[in-house]
Amino acid sequence: MKERQFMFATIALIIGGMLAIQFETTNNPIVRDTRDLWELRADLEKEKQRQQELNEELERYSELLDQYQTEGKDEKIQAMEKALADLKKQAGLTTVSGQGIVITIEPFNNELIGVDRPLPTIDPDMMRRLVNELNRYDAKEISIDDQRIVSKTPIREVNGNIYINNEPVSSFPIEIRVLAKNNEKLHQKIIASPAVEEFVRENFLVESTPSAKVILPAFDKDMKVKFMKPAKEET
């Protein structure tokens, strides 16, 4: 009788194991890695870059932490004010200037598109794509027609006009000012970029000129913060 119990228990154990494995298999199946050599290299590169960025961030924060800890109260406030000013600058709430490039967009002249053709219109998608591409080529600050592009800037079309930061873009030529890490590189890249080609296809002439000094206005609208809450102080 005892033997029989053990036999049942063993069989039940095997069944339990099988059930659990089957359950695991159906709920989280094995995903095969199908990346080829180049994809793997690219991913590795990406991860390395990410690691570097994270390390830099860590270093920056630990420096900041050191600063907070070592300095007295006044200096603490000073450091905070500096951090606040830095953040404001990062968020685009200050006017910035420096060496950069100026991109102008205007319709081709009449000889090229024909006399009776209506003026071409800019699609907000094209503009968004151009901004994305500028960001991809390491643009730090961008303004379009004196409207500063911040992380929450809307680019929309209203009644055939393009609106940036809820302000209509006045008239051609549209001027885009960009400050970049490497202006020369950005200049070279943007001229040959697919976004600019898209503009050309829609009968716009896009020109980019490096400039010794460009001034980008501050973002002057209210920055609506929807989801952030003040952090609680640690006690």
Partner 1 sequence: MWLPVLGLLLGLLLGFMSDIRVPPEYSNYLSIAVLAALDTLFGGIRAHLQGSFEDKVFITGFFFNILLAAGLAYLGVHLGIDLYLAAIFAFGVRLFNNIAVIRRLIISKWSDSRKKA
Buried b (16+ CB within 10 A) or exposed e, 131-164: bebbeebebbbbbbbebbbbeebebeeeeeebbb
At 207, which amino acid appears?
Answer: E
Q: How far is CA 132 from CA 86, 135, 194, 226, in A?
A: 23, 5, 11, 24
Q: Quick one: 26 or 34, whose CB is closer to partner 1?
A: 26
Q: Which stretch binds partner 1 (CB under 8 A): 12-20, 112-120, 179-187, 214-222?
A: 12-20
Which span sits near partner 1 by CB under 8 A: 10-18, 69-77, 134-142, 208-216? 10-18
- Is 11 a binding residue for partner 1 by CB under 8 A? The answer is yes
Q: Is 215 in the site for partner 1 (CB under 8 A)?
A: no
Quick check: helix, strand or coil at residue 172? coil
Residue from 12, 58, 84, 215 binding partner 1 (CB under 8 A): 12
Interaction pattern, residues 24-53, with partner 1; x per rule: CB under 8 A: xxx-xxx-----------------------
**Rounded to 10 degrees, what is the CA torsion of 31, 37, 38, 41?**
80
Sign of CA dihedral 11, 12, 13, 15: positive
Q: Which residue number, 22 or 110, has a Cβ lying nearer to partner 1?
A: 22
Interface with partner 1, residue 9, by CB under 8 A:
yes
Binding site for partner 1 (CB under 8 A): 3-26, 28-30
